[in-house]
């Protein structure tokens, strides 16, 4: 197969234009269905089916940081971070453990659930904390990756591509709310999967198949296909990724508004759980359609470096984040390039639309409405739209900093920051649901202590990287692997939360009835038992077995 690096041609533009036209049509159709109140705008009227919920969960998670970042990690490091992509089993926890309590509470947001379970202090903390976290770990990273993809594929300036995607996505998100987001994400999921499968297939053809891929890569990098690096590996220790990754996974999949909001749009627990199960199966795809193409790109640069290269022409530096776009521009024929580009655009826009809507929901429901409870429903919808615009501006403003921090390993940057955000939040939600004795005082102390550790860790990391400190406690503190740090922070948070709960008065169990396992009524338990079927259980067990199989396949047993 003769390979040449080409830019878009006429048919590519036609295909890409057709995709955008259909997307706009869906958004307009949804927007014409007037959002009468905040439930319509922020939760799509709580009337979304399981297929749309599952597709929306997948599309929200698989943003540009996955398409670009995960392929880049596959290129530079191989399979270790695939541990995070096997968190499909944690999505099951959302459907089976957490979601029944969320829906039973009637909460719009995760901060609102904390207020119902604990008190208003926890709600205020998580509201403000979440908005900052979204700008640091979601908005800016997604826009940054979007700029890379658009500039690489369409030969546009980085900033033109980044801002163009933001503006287009912001418009349909602002107009249509969550309903526009979830229905466009369903379309985007199909386009993304089809496009990524095509590039993976063509990549395998070019590299010579699976056996040739493994031979080429392992000859240069023997551990590239091994997820189980030594426990003391400086970057990817298996114990840290397995256990620390689980802590981050529970925070992200089970407590983060960004993901959970999709399941809250279901009209009952059964539909929400089935949406989570479907989303869990879709979550298994990224290893094959994003990470493996990154490894294929690495093999191709070994086999034919004159044609396949991820070296930045301006700086002369190798940029692993360019791996996936490089495959698109070198392997795909005319027409298919436009389709796959549409899939990449789908990832960018679905992820952005999700975070825009989640930010506006938290700001409007958890902050503005608390300050001005007398405002009308339509007024609050308008506030949510304005909040979206503000989040967009803040995200763009953070990009220059992201460019410096990213350094070609954007996906790792994302995991590092999330590893420090997750432990206290995971602790409060998990213990709050499984143990009725956890009280409001323990929750707020745990959350603020976690914030202190987060600031201390990030501050010491920056000081160490800049050479300000090179010895002492802070230096050692900053040197702990990010995944092990997540474990230590989680253990500290659990011990602190339990201790404070036992040393202070117990909560009013009548007030939190139905919000913790120990306070479920007989009716609640009967309702829970009637909310699932045998097929739900079978599908969940099969998924867990698939995850275990993948963990064993990418291990020293095989590689």
Would you give the DSSP letter of residue 44?
G
pLDDT of 314 above 90: no
The Cα–Cα gap between 388 and 359 comes to: 7
pLDDT of 31 above 90: no
- Bridge partners (DSSP) listed for residue 318: 311
The Cα–Cα gap between 28 and 31 comes to: 5
Would you give the DSSP letter of residue 38?
H
The Cα–Cα gap between 241 and 218 comes to: 22
In this prediction, residue 312 carries a pLDDT of 65
The model's confidence at residue 178, banded by pLDDT at 50, 70 and 90, is: low
Tell me which residue of 327, 285, 292, 290 sits closest to 213, measured CA to CA: 292
Q: How far is CA 274 from CA 88, 113, 212, 271, 502, in A?
A: 13, 22, 39, 5, 37
The Cα–Cα gap between 119 and 124 comes to: 9
Burial class of residue 280, CB neighbours in 10 A (0-12, 13-18, 19+): buried
In this prediction, residue 446 carries a pLDDT of 98
The Cα–Cα gap between 407 and 413 comes to: 9
The Cα–Cα gap between 338 and 14 comes to: 8
Q: What mean pLDDT do residues 478-486 have?
A: 87
The Cα–Cα gap between 16 and 337 comes to: 9
Tell me which residue of 80, 72, 79 sits closest to 294, measured CA to CA: 72
The Cα–Cα gap between 6 and 8 comes to: 7
**φ, ψ at 237 (rounded to 5°):** -65, 135
Q: How far is CA 64 from CA 31, 126, 264, 330, in A?
A: 25, 25, 24, 20
Q: Can you give the length of the chain in residues?
A: 559
* Whether the Cβ atoms of residue 440 and residue 506 lie closer than 8 Å to each other: no
CA-atom Rg of the chain in angstroms: 23
Is the model more confident about 232 or about 89? 89
Element (H, E) at 53: helix 50-61
Helix axis angle, 292-303 relative to 323-331, nearest 10°? Answer: 70
Q: Which of 46-55, 265-274, 387-396 has the highest mean pLDDT?
A: 265-274
pLDDT of 281 above 60: yes
In this prediction, residue 408 carries a pLDDT of 44
Provide the token pair at 439.
Answer: 């009280």
The Cα–Cα gap between 515 and 511 comes to: 9
Q: Which of 12-16, 225-229, 345-349 has the highest mean pLDDT?
A: 225-229
Q: What mean pLDDT do residues 125-147 have?
A: 78
In this prediction, residue 406 carries a pLDDT of 47
The Cα–Cα gap between 315 and 330 comes to: 21
- Across the chain, what does the average pLDDT equal? 83
Provide the token pair at 334.
Answer: 């005319």
The Cα–Cα gap between 48 and 59 comes to: 15
Largest CA distance in the chain: 73
User: Considering the entire predicted model, what is its pTM?
Assistant: 0.85
| Residue ranges of domains in the chain, CATH in brackets | 10-22+60-409 (1.20.1730.10)
- Bridge partners (DSSP) listed for residue 311: 318
* Whether the Cβ atoms of residue 388 and residue 358 lie closer than 8 Å to each other: no
- Bridge partners (DSSP) listed for residue 237: 229
* Whether the Cβ atoms of residue 295 and residue 75 lie closer than 8 Å to each other: yes
Q: pLDDT tens-digit profile of 18-28?
A: 878 887 787 77
The Cα–Cα gap between 244 and 94 comes to: 18
Would you give the DSSP letter of residue 506?
P
Q: Which of 128-132, 282-286, 406-410 has the highest mean pLDDT?
A: 282-286
Is the model more confident about 411 or about 358? 358
In sequence order, the 6+-apart residues with CB closer than 8 A to the CB of 202 are: 327, 331, 332
In this prediction, residue 410 carries a pLDDT of 53
pLDDT of 407 above 50: no
Q: What mean pLDDT do residues 294-321 have?
A: 79
Helix axis angle, 323-331 relative to 69-76, nearest 10°? Answer: 100
pLDDT of 184 above 60: yes
In this prediction, residue 45 carries a pLDDT of 52
The count of other CB atoms within 10 Å of the CB of residue 401 is 12
B/e letters for 117-151, b = 16+ CB within 10 Å, e = fewer, are bbbebbbbbbbebbbebbbbbbbbbbbbbbbbbbb
Token pair 């919808």 is at which residue? 381
In this prediction, residue 36 carries a pLDDT of 55
Q: How far is CA 36 from CA 170, 376, 423, 467, in A?
A: 20, 11, 38, 55
Q: Is 229 helix (H, G, I), strand (E, B) or coil?
A: strand
Q: How far is CA 461 from CA 412, 467, 470, 531, in A?
A: 14, 10, 11, 47
In this prediction, residue 1 carries a pLDDT of 47
The model's confidence at residue 548, banded by pLDDT at 50, 70 and 90, is: very high
Torsion angle (degrees, nearest 10) of CA 104, 110, 114, 116: -40
Helix axis angle, 534-553 relative to 269-283, nearest 10°? Answer: 20
In this prediction, residue 155 carries a pLDDT of 73
Q: pLDDT tens-digit profile of 90-122?
A: 999 999 999 999 999 988 889 999 999 999 999
* Whether the Cβ atoms of residue 40 and residue 380 lie closer than 8 Å to each other: no
Provide the token pair at 456.
Answer: 């201390």
């Amino acid at each position: 197969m003769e390979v040449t690096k080409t830019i878009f041609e006429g048919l590519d533009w036609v295909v890409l234009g057709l995709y955008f036209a259909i997307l706009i049509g869906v958004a307009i159709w949804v927007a014409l269905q007037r959002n009468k109140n905040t439930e319509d705008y922020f939760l799509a009227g709580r009337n979304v089916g399981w297929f749309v919920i599952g597709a929306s969960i997948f599309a929200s998670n698989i943003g540009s940081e996955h398409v670009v970042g995960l392929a880049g990690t596959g290129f530079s490091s191989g399979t270790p971070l695939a541990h995070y992509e096997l968190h499909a089993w944690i999505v099951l926890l959302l459907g089976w453990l957490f979601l029944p309590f969320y829906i039973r509470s009637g909460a719009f947001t995760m901060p609102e659930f904390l207020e119902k379970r604990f008190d208003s202090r926890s709600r205020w903390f998580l509201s403000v904390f979440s908005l900052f976290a979204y700008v640091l770990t979601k908005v800016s990273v997604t826009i940054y990756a979007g700029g890379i993809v658009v500039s690489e594929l369409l030969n546009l300036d980085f900033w033109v591509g980044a801002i163009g995607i933001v503006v287009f996505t912001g418009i349909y998100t602002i107009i249509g709310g969550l309903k526009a987001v979830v229905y466009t994400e369903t379309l985007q999921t199909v386009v993304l999967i089809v496009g990524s499968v095509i590039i993976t297939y063509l990549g395998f053809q070019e590299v010579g198949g699976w056996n040739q891929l493994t031979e080429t890569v392992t000859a240069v990098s023997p551990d590239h296909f091994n997820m189980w690096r030594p426990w003391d590996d400086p970057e990817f220790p298996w114990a840290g990724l397995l256990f620390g990754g689980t802590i981050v996974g529970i925070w992200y999949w089970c407590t983060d508004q960004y993901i959970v909001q999709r399941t809250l749009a279901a009209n009952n627990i059964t539909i929400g759980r089935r949406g989570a199960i479907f989303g869990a199966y879709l979550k298994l795809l990224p290893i094959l359609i994003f990470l493996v193409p990154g490894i294929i790109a690495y093999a191709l640069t070994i086999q034919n470096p004159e044609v396949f290269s991820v070296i930045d022409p301006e700086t002369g530096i190798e940029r692993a984040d360019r791996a996936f776009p490089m495959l698109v521009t070198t392997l795909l024929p005319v027409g298919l390039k436009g389709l796959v580009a549409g899939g990449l655009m789908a990832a960018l826009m679905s992820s952005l639309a999700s975070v825009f809507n989640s930010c506006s929901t938290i700001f409007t429901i958890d902050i503005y409405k608390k300050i001005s409870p007398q405002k009308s429903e339509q007024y609050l919808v308008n506030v949510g739209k304005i909040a979206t615009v503000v989040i967009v501006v803040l995200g763009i403003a953070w990009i220059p900093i992201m460019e410096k921090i990213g350094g070609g390993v954007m996906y790792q940057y994302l995991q590092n920051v999330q590893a420090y955000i997750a432990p206290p939040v995971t602790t409060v939600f998990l213990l709050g649901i499984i143990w009725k004795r956890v009280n409001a005082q323990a929750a707020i102390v745990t959350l603020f202590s976690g914030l202190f550790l987060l600031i201390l860790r990030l501050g010491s990391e920056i000081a160490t990287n800049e050479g300000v400190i090179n010895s002492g406690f802070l230096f050692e503190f900053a040197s702990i692997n990010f995944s092990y740090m997540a474990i230590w922070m989680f253990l500290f948070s659990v011990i602190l939360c339990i201790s404070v709960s036992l040393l202070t008065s117990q909560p009013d169990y009548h007030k939190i009835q139905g919000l913790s396992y120990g306070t479920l009524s007989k009716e609640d338990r009967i309702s829970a038992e009637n909310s699932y079927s045998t097929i739900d259980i079978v599908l969940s067990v099969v998924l867990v077995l698939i995850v275990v199989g993948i963990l064993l396949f990418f291990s020293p047993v095989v590689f």
